[in-house]
A and B are shown apart, each in its own frame.
Chain A
Amino acid sequence: MSPQPVDTLKGFGVTFKQIFKKPITMQYPEYKRPVYPRFRGRHRLWRHENGLEKCVGCSLCAAACPADCIRVVAAENTSDNRVSPGERYARIYEINLSRCIFCGYCELACPFDAITLGNDYELAEYDRDDQIYTKDMLLAEPIKQVPVADAELYDTPIPYYRAYS
């Protein structure tokens, strides 16, 4: 390779001009880039309109999980303590978020649409024990909301069978 002094000097000009251009970094906590609507974030457990939980404690999600991070212990629904429609409910439902790989297999495996992956990704904790989310934490709305991109623009319409099931 023969030396190219003129091209090297032009290279210096290029680097110098870049100082005056605006950097393309997105500064994270001040600006959070919106996620797509189907982004696989923290799990959420859902309820029916009448307040009963959808989860019946069948453990199909625990069986499907590749990382084995869901723990389900079922209990009988008694007439005075009716938590879910059906015979059983999940008495203990815990997900270990430090083991979860956010693949979405539990969402695909659930026959009742009880568990889905929501959009929350700000899950940092100071202690490893705080990363085990219990049932009431998963049932609740996330405390911090992340910006989500416009569903009209970035998502496919929900099919009829799902909207009216």
Chain B
Amino acid sequence: MSEPWWISAIKGFVIINIVLLTFAYTTLLERKALARMQLRYGPNRAGPYGLLQPIADLVKLVRKESFFPTAAIDIPYILAPIVSAFTALAAFAVIPWGKGWEIWHYHVNGVVANVPISLILIFALGSIGIYGFIVGGWASESKFSLLGSMRTCAQLVSYEVSLALSVLGVVITAGSLSLVNIVDNQANSLWYVVPQAVGFLVFVISGVAETSRAPFDLPEAEQELVAGYHTEYSGMRWGLFQLAEYVNLITLSALAITLFLGGWHFPFAHGVDFLGPLWFFLKLLALLFVFIWLRATLPRLRYDQLMSFGWKILLPVATVNAFVTALVVVWVN
């Protein structure tokens, strides 16, 4: 249903702010959860239980000198973190987080922009985000940055293929590319995690590799690459790269929830669906905790192990999953 443009603008503004707040407190959640799994406290000095730590980090980054290497190429060096952060945030425009509401006499959708091909849009934005990493490392004119960014982008591009193929099973089952339709279909039948369990597993593993999280975080391995593509960045420019990384993680979790875990629906009862955003947020927190749990438990994969896993194991599994799903859907109908 269409709605006045200014309602979409207000919703976009609110969603961006909520995502940024979630990003800030995801960094705190990660540090505290990782610490507790390692038998230590996380940050607990900045506020009660460390709750003001993200604000302290923000103030530190803003006040830090964003040095500009003389050898760096001006415009790409500045644009790279902006492009990464922008595409990471823009992907949230099409994720549904509630059903529509009637407020006064305006109809407010549960999604910022209801696009019929929203799934393809998200993958397109993700691919443009990779440009930010390539250009950032290359424009820094430093050997470590260049090598780091090449490794990062090779990894990201490889796992993007498996990511897209794992989603194909959901698309075939739902018969639509629109995220809103996929979520609505899951209200009536089982959540797609049950028939598409293999697809879910491939999606999560590719997603962990796609966002350079452990155990696929070789691009961030300080022992080997100093800091990879963000070596020559400091202050808020580096902060923007971190923002891009964590918001990519949040977007990926949101996408996993939307595609496989029923979006904003409550598991069994449907009467409480007006609280859609709350269930979405709780599922998001649970999935973020799973990613942090993965980081605390598994050691890092070596680069050749990573690439061979992506191409030789994950891609065939995703392809076979899509194939079998297509056969089953045709046979049932």
**A81 lies within 8 A of chain B by Cβ:** no
**B293 lies within 8 A of chain A by Cβ:** yes
A-contact bits for B24-44, CB 8 A (1 contact / 0 none) = 000000000101111111000
- Find out whether the CB atom of A19 lies under 8 angstroms from the CB atom of B41: no
- Find out whether the CB atom of A24 lies under 8 angstroms from the CB atom of B296: no
- Find out whether the CB atom of B293 lies under 8 angstroms from the CB atom of A23: no
Would you list 24 pairs from A and B whose C-beta atoms are within 8 A, ordered by A residue? Answer: A8-B297, A11-B298, A12-B293, A12-B297, A14-B297, A15-B37, A15-B293, A15-B296, A15-B297, A16-B37, A16-B293, A18-B36, A18-B37, A18-B38, A18-B39, A19-B33, A19-B36, A19-B37, A21-B39, A23-B36, A23-B40, A24-B39, A25-B39, A25-B41
**A27 lies within 8 A of chain B by Cβ:** yes
Query: What are the residues of chain B within 8 A of A8 when measuring CB–CB?
Result: 297-298
Q: Which of A132-165 contact B (CB under 8 A)?
A: none
Residues of A within 8 A of B (CB): 8, 11-12, 14-16, 18-19, 21, 23-25, 27
Q: From residue A4, how far is it (CB to closest CB) to chain B in Å?
A: 12
- Find out whether the CB atom of B40 lies under 8 angstroms from the CB atom of A25: yes
Query: What are the residues of chain A within 8 A of B293 when measuring CB–CB?
Result: 12, 15-16
Query: What are the residues of chain B within 8 A of A15 when measuring CB–CB?
Result: 37, 293, 296-297
Bound complex: CA A25 to CA B32 (Å): 13
Q: From residue A23, how far is it (CB to closest CB) to chain B in Å?
A: 5
Given A15-B37, A18-B37, A24-B40, output 4 extra A-B contacts at Cβ < 8 Å.
A15-B297, A23-B36, A24-B39, A25-B39
Query: What are the residues of chain A within 8 A of B35 when measuring CB–CB?
Result: 23
Query: What are the residues of chain A within 8 A of B36 when measuring CB–CB?
Result: 18-19, 23
Bound complex: CA A12 to CA B289 (Å): 12
Q: From residue B222, how far is it (CB to closest CB) to chain A in Å?
A: 22
Q: From residue A14, how far is it (CB to closest CB) to chain B in Å?
A: 8
Q: From residue A99, how far is it (CB to closest CB) to chain B in Å?
A: 30
Query: What are the residues of chain A within 8 A of B40 when measuring CB–CB?
Result: 23-25
Bound complex: CA A23 to CA B39 (Å): 4
Bound complex: CA A8 to CA B35 (Å): 20
Q: From residue A26, how far is it (CB to closest CB) to chain B in Å?
A: 10
Q: From residue A5, how far is it (CB to closest CB) to chain B in Å?
A: 11
Give the nearest-CB partner of B44 in chain A: A27
Query: What are the residues of chain B within 8 A of A27 when measuring CB–CB?
Result: 41
Bound complex: CA A105 to CA B159 (Å): 62
Bound complex: CA A21 to CA B36 (Å): 8
Q: From residue B28, how far is it (CB to closest CB) to chain A in Å?
A: 16
Q: From residue A9, how far is it (CB to closest CB) to chain B in Å?
A: 10
Give the nearest-CB partner of A20 in chain B: B36
Bound complex: CA A14 to CA B39 (Å): 12
Bound complex: CA A16 to CA B39 (Å): 11
A-contact bits for B275-316, CB 8 A (1 contact / 0 none) = 000000000000000000100111000000000000000000
Q: From residue B156, how far is it (CB to closest CB) to chain A in Å?
A: 23
Q: From residue A101, how far is it (CB to closest CB) to chain B in Å?
A: 30
Bound complex: CA A25 to CA B43 (Å): 12
Query: What are the residues of chain B within 8 A of A12 when measuring CB–CB?
Result: 293, 297
Give the nearest-CB partner of A22 in chain B: B39
- Find out whether the CB atom of B33 lies under 8 angstroms from the CB atom of A23: no
Bound complex: CA A130 to CA B21 (Å): 42
Query: What are the residues of chain A within 8 A of B33 when measuring CB–CB?
Result: 19
Give the nearest-CB partner of A16 in chain B: B293
Query: What are the residues of chain A within 8 A of B37 when measuring CB–CB?
Result: 15-16, 18-19
With beta carbons under 8 angstroms apart, the residue of A11, A23, A24, A25 that contacts B297 is A11
Q: From residue B112, how far is it (CB to closest CB) to chain A in Å?
A: 35
Query: What are the residues of chain A within 8 A of B41 when measuring CB–CB?
Result: 23, 25, 27
Query: What are the residues of chain A within 8 A of B296 when measuring CB–CB?
Result: 15
Bound complex: CA A27 to CA B35 (Å): 14
Q: From residue A6, how far is it (CB to closest CB) to chain B in Å?
A: 14
Bound complex: CA A18 to CA B40 (Å): 10
Bound complex: CA A23 to CA B42 (Å): 10
Bound complex: CA A25 to CA B33 (Å): 15
Q: From residue A10, how far is it (CB to closest CB) to chain B in Å?
A: 10
Q: From residue B33, how far is it (CB to closest CB) to chain A in Å?
A: 7
Bound complex: CA A23 to CA B293 (Å): 17
Which 5 pairs between the two chains have the least Cβ-Cβ distance? A15-B297, A15-B37, A19-B36, A25-B40, A23-B40
Bound complex: CA A18 to CA B293 (Å): 11
Q: From residue A148, how far is it (CB to closest CB) to chain B in Å?
A: 26
Give the nearest-CB partner of B295 in chain A: A15
Give the nearest-CB partner of B35 in chain A: A23
